[in-house]
Amino acid sequence: MLRLLTILSFFMISQFALLAQGRFDAVVIKDHKLTDNIYMLEGSGGNVGIYINDDEVLMIDDQFAPLSDKLKAKIKELSGGKTTKLINTHWHGDHTGGNENFGKDGAMIIAHENVRGRMSKEVVRGDRVSPPSPAIALPVVTYKEGMQLYIMDEPVMITHMHRAHTDGDSFVFFPESNVLHMGDCFFKNRFPFIDLNSGGSIDGVIKAVEVALMLVDDKTQIIPGHGSMASKSDLVDYHKCLTTVRSKVAQHIKGGGTLEGLDPAIITEGYEEWGGGFINAEKITQTIFNSLSSIE
C-alpha cells in the first residue's frame, strides 16, 4: 500500500512538474525597447527590466526558474553578453524564481535586506509553503533604505518602500534615462495583491505610489510589476483607485462595520474592470479591511 502511495505521489508530482513545465514551454519572451540601453522583457511573472552597455547587463527581477534559459537567450540576443548584476524588487517567486540560475552564471544579486531574510527561510502563507532558497540564489548585497549604483556612467537609484506590497520592496530608477521600475507596488489598471503576511499594507502601497508620483514626469516610462508599460497618468489613475477604495473601507470601519457588512460591489464601484485578474473586488475589499484593522 505504502509503495502504491509512493508511486502514486511520485506520478502526481511528475505530472504536476510536467504541467508546470508545459505552462512555461509556451511562453515567449517579448522585448520592448524603452531607450538605447533599457528594455522591458515580458514572459510569465513579474515584468523584467534590463539595462545594457558594452560591459554589463543589469537585470531587474527574473520571473520563474523554468524561464531562465529563455531570458538568458533574449539577453544574449540584445546585449551579446549575460547578466552581471541582478536587482530583486521583492522576494516573491514570480520575481526571484530565476535567482539560482542567474547566480550560478555569476550575477551579483542585490536587494533589500528583508528579501534576503525571507528567501533564507521557509515561508508559510496559508497553504502555500515556500522552501528556503539555496545560498547562490540569495542577494549578496543588501541595504536598509536604498543605494546608488553606477553602471559605467549611468546612475541607478534603488529606494526601499516601507511596508508596501511586502516589507522588502524597492523601486529602481534611472534618472538620466527617465525610466522607473516599480515592482509590485504598481499593478497597472488592476487591483493589486498586497501581501499582508509578508509585511505589506494598503497605506504603504499608497505611500509608495505617492513617492513614485514625485519621481516621475509626463515623459517617464514606468515598468509596473504586472501589466503593460505605463505612464504618469496610469499611475495617477491607480492612486485614485486605491485611495477611493481605501477611504470607503476606512469609513465603514470607523462606523463600527464588520468585514461581513461590506459589499465589495459598492466598495469598488466604478472600478469593475479592475477586478478581472487574480485579485477581484471581494479580495481587494477583504485585503484593505484586514490591513486597516490590523494592529500596527
Query: Least distance in Å: CB of 117 to Zn ion?
Result: 16
**CB count, 10 Å around CB of 88?**
29
Residues between 202 and 231 that touch Zn ion (CB under 5 A): none
Query: Least distance in Å: CB of 2 to Zn ion?
Result: 39
Query: Least distance in Å: CB of 52 to Zn ion?
Result: 25
Choices 90-98, 123-131, 155-163, 252-260; region in contact with Zn ion by CB under 5 A: 90-98
Residues whose CB falls within 8 Å of the CB of residue 283, separated by 6 or more in sequence, listed in order: 191
Query: Least distance in Å: CB of 226 to Zn ion?
Result: 8
Query: Least distance in Å: CB of 147 to Zn ion?
Result: 21
Sign of the dihedral through C-alpha 160, 164, 168, 170: negative
Choices 27-35, 84-92, 130-138, 214-222; region in contact with Zn ion by CB under 5 A: 84-92
User: Closer CB to Zn ion, residue 224 or residue 275?
Assistant: 224
92 binds Zn ion (CB under 5 A): yes
User: Closer CB to Zn ion, residue 205 or residue 281?
Assistant: 205
Which residues does residue 148 pair with via DSSP β-bridges, in sequence order?
A: 157
Sign of the dihedral through C-alpha 111, 118, 134, 59: negative
Kindly state the helix (H) or strand (E) to which residue 12 belongs, with its residue range.
helix 2-25
Choices 53-61, 73-81, 89-97, 249-257; region in contact with Zn ion by CB under 5 A: 89-97
232 binds Zn ion (CB under 5 A): no
User: Closer CB to Zn ion, residue 208 or residue 262?
Assistant: 208
CA–CA distance, 265 with 220 (Å, rounded to integer)? 34
H helices within the chain, ranges in order?
2-25, 68-79, 93-96, 99-104, 113-120, 202-215, 232-254, 264-267, 281-293
CA–CA distance, 126 with 121 (Å, rounded to integer)? 16
Q: Give the DSSP letter string of 258-284.
A: -STT--HHHHTTT-GGGGSSSS-HHHH
User: Closer CB to Zn ion, residue 88 or residue 221?
Assistant: 88
**β-pairing, 221-223 with 38-42?**
unpaired
CA–CA distance, 95 with 29 (Å, rounded to integer)? 15
User: Closer CB to Zn ion, residue 93 or residue 275?
Assistant: 93
Site track 161-200 with Zn ion (rule: CB under 5 A), x = hit: -----------------------x----------------
How many residues touch Zn ion under the rule CB under 5 A: the total is 2
Query: Least distance in Å: CB of 183 to Zn ion?
Result: 7
Query: Least distance in Å: CB of 225 to Zn ion?
Result: 6
Q: Are 183 and 46 in contact (CB under 8 A)?
A: yes
Residues near Zn ion (CB under 5 A) are 92, 184
